Chains A and B, each alone.
Chain A
């Protein structure tokens, strides 16, 4: 393959996504109301095509830097891109009926989702901080709009405003950090910075470098909701349209981790020992705050918001371990988390009914055996989130905790185990309300209307949660293969 064509091959999925996103924007205004569904179908088609092109051009044994030193073409990029496209695919399936029910605009939703996917991809494949920043901003701006997608709903508006202001501040801090890093090294490419840093330990006392690194940490800490930068999470998840909350809980978090892994291990491998302590504090705080906050929540969306903080904390253990097992644990966990959390949000989006009426745990009383096709998968998702064995969540947690343990972080692992034992309480509470409480006698009751598409994607998620719980080896091997390219 010639170098020129390689450039396009390495970037093909993003090109496809972008082209289709623009196509949707052009076509959508000319569609009648009944035909609007067409744009959602185009976006699903785009995602599938991008996925296939990603699959066709794998780079399993070499790490190439293409596009004038802007992007990496390696298996890590391939795998993460696959993850993002999977997220996009499942979210679009859930959105199908949801958008129609809530009377939203399918055209805008689909194209914004595709743009968000491009942003996520860029974050994972970028080889240059400029590219990373642009990816981050494309993703952020799409999600700002998506969070406020219910224009006439005050909660949705508030959620968008909060996410926007906090996101703006945190990306400004991130940029400020990047500017210092540039000032210290004179370059913004990952490899260039790493080269400078690898030349001796002269950097130890440099304020420029460390300020830069600290501020970059703030920026990414915000994106993946690490304490104390997590404050936005519950509010934004509660207010945003449910499908969007589902997307936000897995998408930006995965992208944030993907970029953070690259940055930590490709730019700063030599300084990592200095940072580990910060990560440890942050992980402890994140796990405890996420799990404790979730206990008294009544709103299921808000509960999952808090729980998503906790999960970001578990994943941080992989970075702290900083070995192959920990890294591949993170990637595995991102996949597991994708299926279990997106699945849970999917079921919630079905149960809540038009106008998001039924979102408290009390509404879930006694629906267990009424809609087993939905409550059984939801139970599987929640059990997996709680880390009950034979589910993907358990394997992921075990690998992450095990990795941290192997690197002698005994106390941290103890806290992590304690935190995840606390978490079982609130996940199980939802299950108990569904299966072991008498149904509501007075007042309105959940009435379920769903499309076959949504049920299909719920079942797909449930299947993968169990599959990854029973046969995780294949994915773990792939993750291992991918993280090798990070040069650990």
Chain B
């Protein structure tokens, strides 16, 4: 099993090396065969490992391959930790990753840099697998930086576009800020516990008898620092800005890296550190608050975006916010559950939108879509499955995970849980609204595409639609492993993950919340179904019945329209409700907060360093005599230091 496990990440690495070094001379078919075989086998190995792991009936397994760094009394092993959590992550990463590789054959076929694309994608798979399998924080950091690097390379894949390279730069700078938090957190862990091994750190916490910290103890500080890292990688307020721009990359990349896997690294890392967070209520509160605000905030921005991929990007930010909300109320397994279902349906949404974009020859503006159902039937129906899932309509995967999160935040008595619940519920309404809007504008109603273009529209090749169908099935049935409590069906997923949380101080709070009956839980479920329904209904009225198009949205609220429009009432409704929200959403949230303030901070940071850099290099004025002056000055400085300190 030890050798089996190491091959799961190694295979994509081999694929990367082959395609990266020799790829230019390979025929295209060989390039994707290499990429797909390696990831496919690695998925297969993951499945085999999964069943072996189940049959062994152990809580966790640690495999140390070799001692990586050993200096002083510090030891870091190159080792893997196999437990239910990493098992789930490995299955998701290899599974979804494999599907997206297959999809990419069709999508990228006509692109230059075919080998480059697959090489980067395989390198990404390798780094991501290292990230989730690592048995210590340092090795996790290896994967963490690796996926960041690949993401950076892939965002700027179409480097001839200026927007693409700008987006890459933005992602880079923002993630530096996050990484700073993460590295400092890592150092603090090392400093406090003198080890960075997951299990050793956690058992050290238990052994030293750390209780739940009332104030700002060391665990809280570590928690906040690690969370800063997570906000960077997982695109939470205030560091989320890079993710919408990251849509400049090819669509399969958006699906794999910027929706299904890499951006969830922060969620994974915090879940992994549950022993720390469960003892740090302040850190936990920050996690939950940031998460739930992000969930709502990003959803509102999503409402009026015209670019189909941008809607999905904001949606991803919002859904990640949900996951952090779950973590904030100690519902770690619910967070991971949502991570898994989200990987299915969001990958599907992105791949579906990719199929649309490809069919329309790289058209992403929803103004120029509409009525595509006829032409792209498979894409349409599979995307509907995902839409229902993300909106939280019963029996679809997203329903179970989202419901679990809302229920936990309603019932778990941690600080601020009701705020989280309300924010989350409102966000659920808006989620349904923007997703149904997206579907109506793209696939239903009258087509707004010119005739000559329409004749070229055709369904994507089988390799792509096949992937869509598989993901649609997963998005539909994937939720059944985590049944809500009132159904009295055991929650398989949560029970499976149970051993991961053995270092938590209060098991009871996660497992069963006392004082709440099944009736309450059912009520919460009904409320979330209801809000989803309302959201969908609003979208139906506005975008299907009234046929409001993105362009019309822009013209809403002009006074003469109010007078001459026969749908007088609707216009008032528009003016009073939609328009303010729209105004708020585009002008305040998107333009001011998103574009001006946060971009301003990011750019300001860049300008500041650049200014300092100019200043520093001005010291270097080229005159030898001034250089001698600096040396003399340094010498005098040392003498002065000596004079005031030692000479009495």
A221-B634 in contact (CB<8A): yes
Contacts of B168 in A (CB 8 A): 432, 436
Residue A452 interfacial (CB < 8 Å): no
Contacts of A332 in B (CB 8 A): 71
Contact flag A231-B619 (CB < 8 Å), given A388-B145, A390-B142: yes
A329-B617 in contact (CB<8A): no
CA distance A146 to B549 in the complex (A): 72
Interface string of A409-439 (1 = CB under 8 A from B): 0100110011001101100100010011110
A417-B71 in contact (CB<8A): no
Say which residue of B69, B73, B159, B645 sits within 8 Å of A472 (CB atoms).
B69
Binds B, one of A37-45, A90-98, A203-211, A243-251: A203-211
CB nearest neighbor in B for A232: B627
Residue B397 interfacial (CB < 8 Å): no
What is the minimal beta-carbon distance from A393 to any residue of chain B, in angstroms?
A: 12
Interface string of B240-261 (1 = CB under 8 A from A): 0000000000000000000000
Say which residue of B72, B614, B627, B646 sits within 8 Å of A274 (CB atoms).
B646
Contact flag A235-B622 (CB < 8 Å), given A372-B21, A388-B145: yes
What is the minimal beta-carbon distance from B609 to any residue of chain A, in angstroms?
A: 6
B153-A376 in contact (CB<8A): no
What is the minimal beta-carbon distance from A336 to any residue of chain B, in angstroms?
A: 12
Interface residues of B in 142-168 (CB under 8 A from A): 142, 145-146, 149, 152-153, 156, 159-160, 165, 168
Residue A214 interfacial (CB < 8 Å): yes
B642-A325 in contact (CB<8A): no
Say which residue of A207, A294, A436, A477 sits within 8 Å of B156 (CB atoms).
A436
Residue A272 interfacial (CB < 8 Å): no
A476-B69 in contact (CB<8A): yes
What is the minimal beta-carbon distance from B43 to any residue of chain A, in angstroms?
A: 23
Contact flag A296-B624 (CB < 8 Å), given A228-B634, A413-B187, A417-B184: no
Residue A12 interfacial (CB < 8 Å): no
What is the minimal beta-carbon distance from A448 to any residue of chain B, in angstroms?
A: 16
Residue A292 interfacial (CB < 8 Å): yes
B624-A388 in contact (CB<8A): no
Say which residue of A218, A294, A403, A432 sits within 8 Å of B71 (CB atoms).
A403
Interface residues of A in 150-168 (CB under 8 A from B): 161-162, 165-166
CA distance A472 to B69 in the complex (A): 6
CA distance A399 to B69 in the complex (A): 8
Contacts of A472 in B (CB 8 A): 68-69
CA distance A307 to B638 in the complex (A): 24
Contacts of A214 in B (CB 8 A): 635, 638-639, 641-642
Residue A343 interfacial (CB < 8 Å): no
Residue A351 interfacial (CB < 8 Å): no
Say which residue of B71, B138, B152, B612 sits within 8 Å of A292 (CB atoms).
B612
CB nearest neighbor in B for A162: B624
Interface residues of B in 24-82 (CB under 8 A from A): 24, 66-74, 78
Residue A480 interfacial (CB < 8 Å): yes
Residue B179 interfacial (CB < 8 Å): yes
Interface residues of A in 359-394 (CB under 8 A from B): 369, 372, 376, 383, 388-390
Contact flag A422-B153 (CB < 8 Å), given A214-B642, A402-B190: no
B634-A218 in contact (CB<8A): yes
Residue A454 interfacial (CB < 8 Å): no
Residue B613 interfacial (CB < 8 Å): yes
A231-B627 in contact (CB<8A): yes
Contacts of B152 in A (CB 8 A): 428
Say which residue of B142, B631, B646 sits within 8 Å of A210 (CB atoms).
B646
Contacts of B138 in A (CB 8 A): 389, 398
CB nearest neighbor in B for A332: B71
Contact flag A389-B142 (CB < 8 Å), given A229-B634, A413-B187: yes
B183-A417 in contact (CB<8A): yes
CA distance A403 to B191 in the complex (A): 10
B646-A228 in contact (CB<8A): no
A399-B71 in contact (CB<8A): yes
Contacts of A402 in B (CB 8 A): 71-72, 74, 187, 190
Interface string of A136-155 (1 = CB under 8 A from B): 00000000000000000000
Contact flag A166-B631 (CB < 8 Å), given A210-B642, A210-B647, A437-B159: yes
Contact flag A293-B620 (CB < 8 Å), given A210-B646, A328-B71, A421-B179: yes
B68-A470 in contact (CB<8A): yes
Interface residues of A in 241-295 (CB under 8 A from B): 274, 277-278, 288-289, 292-295
What is the minimal beta-carbon distance from A212 to any residue of chain B, in angstroms?
A: 10
Residue A169 interfacial (CB < 8 Å): yes
Residue A471 interfacial (CB < 8 Å): yes
Say which residue of A205, A222, A372, A388 sits within 8 Å of B149 (CB atoms).
A388
Residue A324 interfacial (CB < 8 Å): yes
Residue A175 interfacial (CB < 8 Å): no
CA distance A296 to B615 in the complex (A): 10
What is the minimal beta-carbon distance from B167 to any residue of chain A, in angstroms?
A: 12
CB nearest neighbor in B for A435: B153
Say which residue of B116, B156, B624 sits within 8 Å of A161 (CB atoms).
B624
Residue B492 interfacial (CB < 8 Å): no
A274-B635 in contact (CB<8A): no
Residue B217 interfacial (CB < 8 Å): no
Say which residue of A296, A328, A421, A471 sits within 8 Å of B180 (CB atoms).
A421
CA distance A254 to B638 in the complex (A): 23
Residue A195 interfacial (CB < 8 Å): no
CA distance A468 to B165 in the complex (A): 32
Contact flag A228-B637 (CB < 8 Å), given A205-B647, A235-B620, A376-B21: yes
Residue A173 interfacial (CB < 8 Å): yes
Interface string of B1-30 (1 = CB under 8 A from A): 000000000000000000011001000000
A414-B184 in contact (CB<8A): yes
Contact flag A228-B153 (CB < 8 Å), given A403-B71, A421-B180, A473-B67: no
What is the minimal beta-carbon distance from B137 to any residue of chain A, in angstroms?
A: 11
Residue A405 interfacial (CB < 8 Å): yes
Contacts of A295 in B (CB 8 A): 609-610, 613
Contacts of A372 in B (CB 8 A): 20-21, 24
B176-A424 in contact (CB<8A): yes
Residue B583 interfacial (CB < 8 Å): no
Contacts of B70 in A (CB 8 A): 473, 476-477
A228-B68 in contact (CB<8A): no
Residue B141 interfacial (CB < 8 Å): yes
Residue B172 interfacial (CB < 8 Å): yes
Contacts of B545 in A (CB 8 A): none
Contacts of A473 in B (CB 8 A): 66-70
What is the minimal beta-carbon distance from B486 to any residue of chain A, in angstroms?
A: 46
Contacts of B159 in A (CB 8 A): 435-438
Interface centre among B176, B614, B638 (most CB of A within 10 A): B638
CA distance A369 to B114 in the complex (A): 13
Contact flag A325-B72 (CB < 8 Å), given A204-B646, A215-B635: yes
Contacts of B145 in A (CB 8 A): 388-389
What is the minimal beta-carbon distance from A77 to any residue of chain B, in angstroms?
A: 22
CB nearest neighbor in B for A388: B145
Residue A178 interfacial (CB < 8 Å): no
13 contacts between A and B (CB under 8 A): A173-B631, A205-B648, A231-B630, A278-B641, A294-B613, A297-B617, A306-B617, A388-B149, A389-B142, A418-B180, A432-B168, A473-B68, A476-B69
List A residues at the B interface (Cβ < 8 Å).
Answer: 161-162, 165-166, 169-170, 173, 204-205, 207, 210-211, 214-215, 217-218, 221-222, 227-229, 231-232, 234-235, 274, 277-278, 288-289, 292-297, 306, 323-325, 328-329, 332, 369, 372, 376, 383, 388-390, 395, 398-399, 401-403, 405-406, 410, 413-414, 417-418, 421-422, 424-425, 428, 432, 435-438, 470-473, 476-477, 480
| Additional A-B contact list (20), CB under 8 Å, known A205-B646, A480-B71 | A162-B627, A173-B635, A204-B646, A207-B647, A217-B638, A228-B634, A278-B638, A297-B617, A323-B72, A325-B71, A369-B24, A398-B138, A405-B191, A414-B184, A421-B180, A438-B159, A471-B68, A472-B69, A473-B66, A476-B70
5 pairs of A and B residues whose beta carbons are closest in the complex: A325-B72, A389-B142, A295-B613, A228-B634, A436-B159
